[in-house]
């Protein structure tokens, strides 16, 4: 990669409405775009630690990314194998490996269908479903654990009363419930209508017991993000949710996909509220590595605008909207 050039763009992208992540309220998403230029081709990666979930800050990621770019621009970075000597933070690993992977792509495959995220108040969600246009998706995703258990049970029951019987709901509680609360939820609904529930309680050791007592299948999300996590089948485990910004590089993600599929467990790519560049990468990874899967990538509407709204062509440059550029270097 002696003839390569690397630079960084830092962006600030406002949300339509403030979003709260583990008591962190964000009004905008800040992140970094890595641009590589090698032999007449461009590759892009996104580095955007998510406050409240990522172990590293944006400033820490930025310093490490600057060191990588210096290595590239000074001719000290030979090829992808050179990454073995780097201990990259998860968000940086995702961005760097994505840019290197992007350089190798001659074209893109069709973006996958996604599991729509049911955002907003209960009234807004029900109105959206009552006026649904076109074919129904096989799955929707619903965040739970943000209100009372009774509210969640009632909301879910009303949703299931509207959507066709074949539609399944992916629930995501982000470890907000106790074991007793999770049992009560399962007893209040038809668990066969639930594809799985992500991280139902604060202790992963309880998940299989919950399944054995209630028949409620579960998915691992935060557990997968823990350093040193190794996939192991568990009774009731329906899926692992892979958020590359939080999990790490593409090599790590591909390893998790292969391990899960070998045991007949779903691997589902999901967003950490990346910009349209990061979402494009996640769409391609899902389409190429988990064909037929409905990823959790319905997050673009959370932003006032897309960071990029032009067609993204493999190998070609991308024009990021100047209004959202914080700095370029």
Query: What residues are annotated to the active site?
Result: 143, 243
Structure token pair of residue 110: 């069709």
DSSP states of 198-228:
ES-BS-GGGHHHHHHHH---EEESHHHHSTT
CA distance 4 to 174: 41
Neighbours of 204 (CB within 10 A): 17
User: For residue 292, what are the CA distances in angstroms to 88, 138, 261, 266?
Assistant: 31, 11, 13, 11
Structure token pair of residue 47: 């580095």
Q: State the angle between helix axes of 90-103 and 250-262 in degrees (0 to 180), rounded to the nearest 10.
A: 90
Task: List, in sequence order, every beta strand (DSSP E) within 124-204.
Answer: 139-143, 168-172, 194-198
DSSP states of 63-104:
HHHHHHHHHHHTT---SGGGGGG----HHHHHHHHHHHHHHT
Structure token pair of residue 203: 């202790």
CA distance 185 to 147: 13
315 φψ region: left (φ > 0), alpha (ψ -120 to 50), beta (else): left
Q: Report yes or no: 223 and 201 within 8 Å, Cβ to Cβ.
A: no
Task: Kindly report the length of the chain.
Answer: 329
């Amino acid at each position: 990669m002696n003839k390569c050039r690397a630079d960084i763009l830092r962006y600030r992208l406002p949300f339509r409405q403030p979003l709260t992540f583990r008591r962190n309220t964000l009004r905008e998403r800040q992140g970094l775009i890595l641009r590589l230029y090698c032999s007449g081709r461009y590759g892009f990666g996104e580095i955007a630690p998510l406050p409240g979930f990522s172990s590293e800050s944006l400033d820490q990621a930025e310093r490490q990314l600057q060191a990588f770019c210096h290595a590239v621009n000074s001719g000290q970075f030979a090829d992808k194998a050179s990454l073995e000597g780097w201990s990259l933070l998860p968000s940086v690993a995702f961005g760097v490996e994505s840019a290197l992977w992007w350089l190798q792509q001659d074209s893109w495959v069709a973006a996958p269908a996604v599991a729509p995220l049911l955002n907003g108040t209960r009234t807004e969600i029900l109105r959206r479903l009552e006026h649904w246009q076109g074919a129904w998706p096989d799955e929707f995703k619903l965040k739970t654990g943000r209100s009372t258990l009774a509210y969640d049970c009632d909301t879910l029951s009303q949703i299931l009363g509207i959507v066709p019987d074949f539609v399944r709901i992916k629930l995501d509680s982000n470890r907000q419930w106790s074991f007793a609360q999770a049992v009560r939820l399962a007893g209040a609904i038809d668990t066969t209508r639930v594809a799985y529930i992500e991280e139902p309680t604060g202790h992963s050791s309880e998940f299989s017991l919950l399944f054995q007592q209630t028949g409620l299948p579960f998915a691992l999300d935060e557990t997968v993000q823990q350093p040193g996590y190794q996939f192991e089948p568990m009774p009731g485990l329906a899926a692992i949710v892979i958020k590359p910004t939080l999990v790490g590089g593409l090599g790590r993600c591909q390893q998790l996909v292969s391990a899960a599929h070998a045991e007949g467990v779903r691997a589902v790519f999901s967003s950490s509220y990346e910009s349209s560049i990061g979402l494009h990468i996640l769409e391609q990874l899902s389409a190429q590595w988990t064909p037929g899967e409905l990823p959790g990538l319905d997050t673009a509407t959370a932003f006032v605008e897309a960071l990029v709204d032009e067609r993204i062509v493999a190998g070609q440059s991308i024009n990021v909207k100047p209004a959202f550029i914080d700095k370029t270097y």
